[in-house]
């Protein structure tokens, strides 16, 4: 059973990184990676419906335009059951707290520990519509 993971980051190399990191999973079909370069794009993407079902949004915080936390708020509003994990370079307590307040499921600092991430992903409930 495959699920979608949406990665939101304005840095294009992030997409490449995730692709390479999840190449096995991708080959095996565990996950399907979707990439959005901005918060708006991510919302558009979500709104347009993604197949397979999204199990998690991994979003950067510092993005031009709508930043990660704004996006978090939006997603929580529109897609309440959708876990959002913040993946950011800025690991300061303030952002962490805010993220927590806004309902982020996890707060990860870069560089991402992909093994741990993958472990956490496996814990997640199955994708919802």
Selected from 2, 21, 30, 118, the binder of another protein by CB under 8 A is: 21
**φ and ψ at residue 117, rounded to 5 degrees:** -60, -45
Give me the least distance between CB of 108 and another protein, in Å please.
Answer: 12
Q: Is 51 in the site for another protein (CB under 8 A)?
A: no
Site for another protein in 54-83 (CB under 8 A): 62
For 12-34, letters b (16+ CB in 10 Å) and e give eebbebbeebbeebbeeebbbbb
Of 68-76, 89-97, 98-106, 120-128: span binding another protein (CB under 8 A): 89-97
């Amino acid at each position: 059973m495959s699920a979608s993971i949406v990665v939101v980051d304005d840095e294009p190399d992030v997409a490449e990184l995730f692709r390479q990191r999840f190449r096995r999973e991708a080959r095996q079909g565990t996950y399907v990676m979707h990439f959005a370069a901005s918060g708006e794009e991510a919302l558009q993407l979500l709104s347009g419906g993604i197949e397979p079902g999204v199990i998690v949004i991994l979003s950067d915080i510092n993005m031009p335009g709508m930043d990660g936390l704004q996006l978090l708020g939006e997603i929580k509003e529109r897609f309440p059951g959708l876990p959002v994990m913040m993946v950011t370079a800025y690991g300061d307590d303030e952002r962490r707290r805010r993220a927590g307040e806004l309902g982020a499921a996890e707060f990860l600092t870069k560089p991402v520990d992909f093994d741990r991430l993958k472990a956490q992903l496996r814990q997640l409930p199955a994708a919802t519509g």
